Amino acid sequence: MQTLTNKRILLGITGGIAAYKSADLIRRLRDQGAEVQVIMTKAACEFITPLTMQALSGKPVHIELLDPVTEAGMGHIELARWSDVIVVAPATANFIARLSHGMADDLLSAICLVAAVPILIAPAMNQQMWLNAATQANIQNLAARGIILAGPASGMQACGETGPGRMLEPLELVAAVNGLFETRALDGKHVLVTAGPTQEAIDPVRFISNRSSGRMGYAIARAAQEAGAEVTLVSGPTAIPAPERVKYVPVKTAEQMREAVLAQAAKQDIFIAAAAVADYRCAEIAGEKIKKTAADLVLTLRKNPDILAEVAQLPRPPYTVGFAAETTAVKENALIKLRSKGLDMIAANRVGDGLGFESDENSLEVLWDGGTISLELTSKDKLARQLIDIVARKYNEKHPPQSY
Ligand code: PMT
């Protein structure tokens, strides 16, 4: 069965050695019934000829930003309107950096800026370039803007090194494109996510907080949005840009987070609490900066409300997923939280010693009444998608879609 019949795919090819695989990709996409138009950067033309791509796609290849042949010299607008999806394969480190900074100085980058359709990029580069902090920051930025990442794979590279940075194989990319057109698991659902730490003031300049970066919660918000949900993200202070196409509610303290969550909870189908809410706040916040005159300083702390438990105890609660951050007996402690707070599901992670908090990767033990799934250590983006799949499946079991 052809899975991409009548789908219009704009394939961007940038200047990397993996460009030779794009020739096969065109053939594979067309085998599935897709119409493919190709845009090449000038550097891509150094690796593979436009003539090859023209022969395989059956259409002229586009290279110039200002093309007098297309209507009114606005080729980029025409092409963006034509497409159902834009796939950039290979996407070099340079292209990723330019996309991240919103450049529009060649045809492909201008189209990506003007497009209102999903953009999927397949990175391909030397492993050090991929691991470089600048590339990783660009990738995070693109992910936050809703750009979909396919790969890279790890393995032997054209430069002789081994590591992450290989472009996915054409058939894997076809599968990723297919995924974009599948009915999405949370279409039309309302999902509320909390993320990040809370900050509890001690005096006007000091606060109590924790090491949560917000990465896990933001990845969950993006994964839920990609799965078709209308997402509200209530976030404590983080250094991550707010994801696009997500309703973003910034807060600082646990009490503000509680207020924001309770204002939204009744309208939600699913609530996922990934925030590391401070368990205690100062019983009294000093009006002035506390002087360091005393040898010992005693702060009286007062327990914060448990936001997750409050949501789970609402008369008509959403499907409620908690997190458990544990240093020991991860599963056992998570089960206690699942039951004592009356949750539908809990995702437990081991924390401390560089695990869970702050890092780019995580692993989860997902538990519900009568079941458990272990999700192996992987990037928080990938883990979030796996978690959202499980949540969608269990939510649909609890609330089977109505058939008429
Ligand atoms: O942000 P990152 O750097 O990516 O790190 C991710 C993470 C480790 C913070 C995340 O994966 C995680 O584990 N989040 C929950 C952290 C936590 O506070 O766990 P807990 O076991 O103390 O709390 C259990 C649950 O109750 C959590 O869902 C928490 O959001 C919720 N809670 C806790 C206290 C409180 N007053 N109100 C709450 O709602």
User: 0.85 exceeded by the pTM?
Assistant: no
Counting every residue written for the chain, the total comes to 404
Name all residues whose Cβ lies below 6 A of ligand 1: 194, 212-216, 254, 273-277, 279, 304, 306-308, 322-325, 337, 349, 351, 356-358
Q: Could you tell me the residue range of the domain that residue 162 belongs to?
A: 8-181
User: Which active-site residues does the annotation give?
Assistant: 159
Structural tokens at position 363: 């692993």
Kindly state whether residues 152 and 269 are assigned to the same domain: no
> Is 371 inside any structural domain?
yes
pLDDT by residue for the chain (404 residues), tens digit each? 677 888 899 999 999 999 999 999 999 999 999 999 999 999 999 999 999 999 999 999 999 887 666 544 556 677 888 888 999 999 999 999 999 999 999 999 999 998 878 899 999 999 999 999 999 999 999 988 889 999 999 888 877 888 899 999 999 999 999 988 876 789 889 999 999 999 999 999 999 999 999 999 999 999 998 888 999 999 999 999 888 779 999 999 999 999 999 999 999 999 999 999 999 999 999 999 999 999 999 999 999 999 999 999 999 999 999 999 999 999 999 999 999 999 999 999 999 988 999 899 999 999 999 999 999 998 898 899 999 999 999 999 998 766 45
Kindly state whether residues 12 and 73 are assigned to the same domain: yes
Atom nearest to 275 CA in ligand 1? 30
Residue 61's CATH number: 3.40.50.1950
Residue to substitute in 323, 333, 358, 359 for testing ligand 1 pocket (most ligand atoms within 8 angstroms of CB): 323
The rounded Å distance from CA 275 to ligand 1 centre is 5
How far apart are the C-alpha atoms of 223 and 364, rounded to whole Å? 16
The widest CA-to-CA distance across the chain, in whole angstroms, is: 80
> Is 50 inside any structural domain?
yes
> Is 3 inside any structural domain?
no
329-333: Cβ within 8 A, 24+ apart: 330/365, 331/365, 331/367, 331/372
Kindly state whether residues 220 and 324 are assigned to the same domain: yes
139-145: Cβ within 8 A, 24+ apart: 139/96, 139/100, 140/240, 141/100, 141/241, 142/96, 142/99, 142/100, 143/219, 143/222, 143/381, 144/218, 144/222, 144/240, 144/241, 144/242, 144/243, 144/244, 145/243, 145/244
Select from 131, 146, 181 the last residue of a domain. Answer: 181
Kindly state whether residues 287 and 372 are assigned to the same domain: yes
Kindly state whether residues 201 and 164 are assigned to the same domain: no
Number of domains in the chain: 2
Kindly state whether residues 41 and 132 are assigned to the same domain: yes
> Is 1 inside any structural domain?
no
Count of C-beta atoms within a 10 Å radius of residue 210: 18
Angle between helices 93-100 and 133-144 (to 10 degrees): 50
3-class DSSP assignment, residue 305: coil
Select from 162, 181, 200 the last residue of a domain. Answer: 181
Kindly state whether residues 175 and 317 are assigned to the same domain: no
| pLDDT value of position 161 | 83
The rounded Å distance from CA 285 to ligand 1 centre is 24
Which protein residue has the closest C-alpha to ligand 1 atom 24?
A: 324
Kindly state whether residues 275 and 150 are assigned to the same domain: no
The rounded Å distance from CA 151 to ligand 1 centre is 29
Select from 181, 211, 242 the last residue of a domain. Answer: 181
Kindly state whether residues 207 and 242 are assigned to the same domain: yes
Kindly state whether residues 345 and 227 are assigned to the same domain: yes
Kindly state whether residues 314 and 386 are assigned to the same domain: yes
| pLDDT value of position 67 | 67
Residue 312's CATH number: 3.40.50.10300
The rounded Å distance from CA 215 to ligand 1 centre is 12
Residue to substitute in 213, 271, 308 for testing ligand 1 pocket (most ligand atoms within 8 angstroms of CB): 308
